[in-house]
Structure 1
Amino acid sequence: MLSILALLLAVQVHAAALPITPAPTDAATHAAVGALLERAGDVLPSALQAQLPPLRLEVVDTLPAHVQGRQHAHRIRLPRRLVLAPAADGDADPALAALLHEIAHVLDARLRLSRDPRLLDLAGWQLRPRRFGLRNADNPLRDRSPDPYELHSPAEFVAVNFEHFLLDPDYRCRRPALHRHLAMRLGVDSEHAPLRPCADALPFVTASEHGDHPPLDALDPARVHAVEYLFAEPTHAPMSRWGHSMLRLVVCAPGRTPGPDCRFDLAHHRVLSFRAFVDDVQISSWRGLTGHYPSRLFVLPLSQVVEEYTQVELRGLRAVPLRLQQAEIAALIERAAQLHWNYDGRYSFLGNNCATETFKLLHDAVPRLASARLAAITPSGLLRKLEHRGIADASVLADTDKAIRHGHLFPAADAHYQALFDVADGMLDLPARDARAWLALEAGTRTPWLQRGDLRSTAALLVLEEAALRRAELRARDALKHRLLRAGDADAAAARDLAEEVLAAEGVLVRPAMLLARVPGYGLPQAEELTVAGERAAALDSARSERSGDLHARAQAMLPTALADELAVIRANVGGTAARLRRLSTGDAAS
């Protein structure tokens, strides 16, 4: 009897510090409750304990099996099986997590955390542009979640993250922006417990076509000198008639002190581009309109983006600097990394496109921009708002020549092609009126002219012939797509299987969370997880390259004869012109 009385007194003494009164129960449960309250008192900062009203803790057997706890007003109920269960392996403490979860609901009722617009931005309940301040009903930050229950509602998100905020020393590294915001809103020191240092660099999987660097890369925000709104000019194609929104990161080369000269470190610059990931061989406009394609944040080398738009699609690019402080740049890159590993959205050409995705990234990453009324559903509209609000500095485009020299303007290559044509035409009197007409000639008609020029005109013709090759390869891809969709074609079926394997590998690389399937962890991956992700990404990228090579070889045999012959002649033209240029450059007059 004395031992039970002593136990009750011990629980009551502890309850005086933590304003939680246990309901009467048996001795074994009292002991477990006392130990639980002691553990809670150890991890719950005194600033939060002081904000709690008097609470009553009941240990019951009536909760459903899947329920870890319930809170109503000032009463918390926990299942007896959980309170009495022995500690799990490692540092897991399910009973403590459950108690903290319910305490979080009590604090949320007082502090209104789950209605905090800034917390909702960070959590993933994003604003819907042109929807009068309404937010998405669903949270698309579903990848690498510590507990899918957090996506059930903002209130449950707060409670789940409150558990990890207090119990996981890596929380500040896995969800750094949320950690800082919760520390501020809860009024506790963000260093409330001994913490491991976080890595300076943030992990990204860079989707490079050329395979010239490992796919898993790390980017230190301190190396990013500036962020620019990168706008691809519109075309007449239905999917690109409003242009395309991207963000360019001006990344300094290793060893260079961040500053204006980083603009010339083009090989290190990266582009953040939200795109629909087309995961089948047939592009469907209807699927794009209705949001059936995944939306992914691609991280691309600037050189690849410039080539894609200016040389292949013949679209100009404008890189307009954004007026951001260094801390805001760091927050933007941190948010981009969080989306890169956690975001699983749906792309819709009219509702959730590149412009709205870019707007949400800026809005959610930089609090100052959240009040700037930037919401827009077209890339050009977003650029105009950024300029009108004084966030984007379009003055860098006033002097065209200077803008080109400083990398703020990348003109479409058709103007460049015409200038090259004029050089060659001035010497050779080519049988075409302009560059477009020259490139439209049959490759065999161009062949003899490629061997007649001097050094300067031959160099110009080589660039034009390489452009002709890119145009022919685009026609070949389109022809191949139609062949792959043909029913009852055995060759097409085999090639389609290869194409689907390539697309599957690319699908994993542009959704990095899939690299860590069945690997414990959440949020930004930490060192041990990054080792696994790097190995898997490298293996997957290698397999993708191999399958792409097999697909290319098979595709060659499937092309219409006339198109295959045309490609062969153009490739021979490129090789022959390059050889002639080398001979001319060494002064071989016999050439």
Structure 2
Amino acid sequence: MPVLITIYFAQFVSASGQNDIYLSQIAGDIIERLPSKMSNYLRESNTKIVSKPLAPISHNFCKNTNVSTVFGMTKKGIVYINSNIFSLPKESFENCRYTDREHLLTSTLVHELAHVYDLKFRVSSMDEYVTLAYAEKRNIKHKSKKRILDVEKITLLNKNSSRSPDIYEHENIKENFAVNFEFYFLDEQYACHRPSKFDFFSRVLEEGRERKYKCYSEEITIPTSRGLETINISPDNVKGVSYLFSGEGDDIASSFGHAQLLLELCSNNNCSKTNKYTFSFVADIAGSTYSLYSGLTGKYQSKLRGTDYALTKIQYNVIELRDITEYPLKLNRTEKTRLLRFLLENFWEYQGNYKFITNNCSSELLRLFKYAFDDKNIYAQNIDTPKGITEFLLKFGRIDKRNITHISGDTVLSKGLRKLGIRMEAKNYIALKAQDREEFIINAKKENELFILLLAENIALLKASQDYFNILTKRNDLSVDLETVTFSDRRDKRRGYGIKKIDSSLNERPALGLDEIQELYEIALQQEPKSIEAVNAKDELDKTKQNHSTIINMLKNYQRSHR
């Protein structure tokens, strides 16, 4: 028989049996510690908790990750706890995110009570939360027997399980809310891993909790024309933020242009000297053959990439002859902080499916703007083109019109050609064969300031530089994975989720450099069980995602054996 435990002002009745009394004690403690806005509702609504067997629970449930285990459920406002939890051993669980049985029971109760609260107040459907959950809200037409209705549909876009505390958060928006509230309530380090969601919960639940100190790192490493470079994107170190629009390209993938974010960073804490970097969401095509069909149907991963502005200008202005326009953004301190913090979270956590038409650089970047501006009218926007982003920013008065900068790709290359004494239009120069263009460059004066720029445009060197950039990008991906391994506790996966955390162990063990990554890569390849022949690490960097994951697992084993 199921046991009914009804909450009346944190008093529990109808509890019988040792296990159910134990459950009522834990539930009572949770209700007392929950945010008052939440606990008051649970008491006033006479929330019921029912203990009964829902499904078998294996004693090795932590190891059987491919098997779905039901610990609890909420139906029509009633919380059901799987009584089979009590058959699990009391002692510590091994290699599990739950430390022991009490932790599992507590987490399950908090998770299900979050569902009860969300069922009433629909917090998971709030525009700000939908944005923070990397989700998209759209109204779709639903045809019933009598009429056509507008139905709100929320789709989760993030597919990155490696930086998740519990991959069940990717199930749907309601589970996303419950999982994150669970960690907000139980994990003292949640503010370090997911600061934006922490601030959201604290504000919406009127709890007023604040982070005592900044415990997450605002430094990230990105591939640039100078190699892998570590930059600081804290609000104090970012002098200005602009929307960067790259004009239309020739192929269908770039026919609408490209949407990017441009950050002007202080150089060595000196804001009189600045360096510029660009960030944008791109389709990760490296290691696979380009396919229009794959791009239209979301077969490529969508990732946030960063690089320096110099490389961006060479790519769009010089190589592709596309125009670039800088639109400086009007941001107050709060908006700037929210934008940069969410950019950081996207860098570490987000990995979606890139679709050239519906989920692209524009729609992904719009998510950052929505959270930064936090305006109900802006949250309602759905934009799928870079020009649409420009129009949206102008419409809402977010662009400083006095300082818009336009750089024509044709003009940049034509000016360089004139300085080199080449009397030819840029488009005609590009149409020349590689050896003909190389002859012009060889005859040019090497001390000319644009010599390097034009040299990069040469086809042979362009391919080499692109290969180099791809290697840097892949190495950066690898370094992110290695950072996850480095500051994660093997027994507690939660320590490796979200943003990279400032931690004493990290200070003792600095981030891996290129040489160390290369060395680890080679050791990992040599230690592969199939005893493969020596493989060039550089070539391996461009292989498939499956092979990349295999190498990461080998690296994890290597690091564990050397602790």
Distance 1:222 1:78 in 2: 48
Give the equivalent residue in structure 1 for 2:246: 232
Distance 1:502 1:547 in 2: 17
Could you say if the C-alpha distance between residues 527 and 541 of structure 1 is closer, same or farther in structure 2, counting changes exceeding 3 Å? farther
Are residue 140 (structure 1) and residue 150 (structure 2) matched?
no
Q: Give SS of 1:395's match.
A: helix
Residue 297 (structure 1) shift = 0.5
Counterparts of 1:345-384 in structure 2, within 5 Å, are: 345-368=352-375, 371=378, 374-384=381-391
Letter in 1 for 2:182: E
Counterparts of 1:313-328 in structure 2, within 5 Å, are: 313-328=320-335
Give the equivalent residue in structure 1 for 2:255: 241
Are residue 509 (structure 1) and residue 476 (structure 2) matched?
yes
Q: Structure 1 residue aligned with 2:298, among 286, 291, 302?
A: 291
Give the equivalent residue in structure 1 for 2:125: 115
Could you say if the C-alpha distance between residues 530 and 434 of structure 1 is closer, same or farther in structure 2, counting changes exceeding 3 Å? same
Q: Structure 1 residue aligned with 2:436, among 439, 442, 455?
A: 442
Distance 1:469 1:303 in 2: 12
Give the equivalent residue in structure 1 for 2:14: 23
Could you say if the C-alpha distance between residues 17 and 178 of structure 1 is closer, same or farther in structure 2, counting changes exceeding 3 Å? same
Distance 1:458 1:280 in 2: 35
Distance 2:221 2:258 in 1: 21
CA RMSD of aligned residues (A): 4.1
Give the equivalent residue in structure 1 for 2:74: 71
Structure 1: any 5+ residue segments left out of the alignment? 1-11, 398-407, 451-456, 482-498, 553-591
Letter in 2 for 1:467: L
User: What percent identity do the matched residue pairs reach?
Assistant: 20
Q: Give SS of 1:380's match.
A: helix
Residue 115 (structure 1) shift = 2.5
Distance 2:155 2:41 in 1: 31
Distance 2:475 2:212 in 1: 30
Could you say if the C-alpha distance between residues 82 and 200 of structure 1 is closer, same or farther in structure 2, counting changes exceeding 3 Å? closer
Distance 1:443 1:47 in 2: 70
Contact 2:264 2:277 in 1 (8 A): yes
Distance 2:73 2:539 in 1: 57
Are residue 182 (structure 1) and residue 201 (structure 2) matched?
yes
Give the equivalent residue in structure 2 for 1:415: 411
Q: Give SS of 1:352's match.
A: coil
Q: Structure 1 residue aligned with 2:111, among 101, 114, 127?
A: 101
Distance 1:514 1:347 in 2: 21
Q: Give SS of 1:24's match.
A: coil
TM-score, structure 1 as length reference? 0.70
Contact 2:223 2:472 in 1 (8 A): no
Deviation readout 1:270-291 (Å, 9 max, x if unpaired): 2111111113353222222222
Q: Give SS of 2:224's match.
A: coil
Could you say if the C-alpha distance between residues 302 and 133 of structure 1 is closer, same or farther in structure 2, counting changes exceeding 3 Å? farther
Larger strand proportion of the pair: 2
Structure 2: any 5+ residue segments left out of the alignment? 58-68, 142-149, 523-534, 542-563
Q: Structure 2 residue aligned with 1:37, among 17, 27, 35?
A: 27
Letter in 2 for 1:442: D
Counterparts of 1:526-541 in structure 2, within 5 Å, are: 526-528=501-503, 534-535=511-512, 539-540=516-517
Distance 1:517 1:380 in 2: 37
Give the equivalent residue in structure 1 for 2:47: 55
Counterparts of 1:151-190 in structure 2, within 5 Å, are: 151-190=170-209
Larger helix proportion of the pair: 1
Give the equivalent residue in structure 2 for 1:565: none
Distance 2:49 2:227 in 1: 59
Distance 1:189 1:383 in 2: 36
Deviation readout 1:71-90 (Å, 9 max, x if unpaired): 33454332334357526369
Could you say if the C-alpha distance between residues 513 and 81 of structure 1 is closer, same or farther in structure 2, counting changes exceeding 3 Å? farther
Give the equivalent residue in structure 1 for 2:147: none
Residue 338 (structure 1) shift = 1.4
Are residue 213 (structure 1) and residue 205 (structure 2) matched?
no
Could you say if the C-alpha distance between residues 526 and 129 of structure 1 is closer, same or farther in structure 2, counting changes exceeding 3 Å? farther
Q: Give SS of 1:534's match.
A: coil
Letter in 2 for 1:51: Y
Letter in 1 for 2:238: V
TM-score, structure 2 as length reference? 0.73
Residue 57 (structure 1) shift = 3.3
Could you say if the C-alpha distance between residues 349 and 135 of structure 1 is closer, same or farther in structure 2, counting changes exceeding 3 Å? same
Residue 539 (structure 1) shift = 3.7
Contact 2:8 2:46 in 1 (8 A): no
Letter in 2 for 1:368: D
Distance 2:442 2:169 in 1: 68
Distance 2:181 2:429 in 1: 66
Could you say if the C-alpha distance between residues 511 and 287 of structure 1 is closer, same or farther in structure 2, counting changes exceeding 3 Å? farther
Could you say if the C-alpha distance between residues 42 and 318 of structure 1 is closer, same or farther in structure 2, counting changes exceeding 3 Å? same
Letter in 2 for 1:202: E
Distance 1:320 1:447 in 2: 34
Equivalent residue pairs, number: 484
Residue 374 (structure 1) shift = 4.6
Contact 2:471 2:538 in 1 (8 A): no
Q: Give SS of 1:252's match.
A: strand
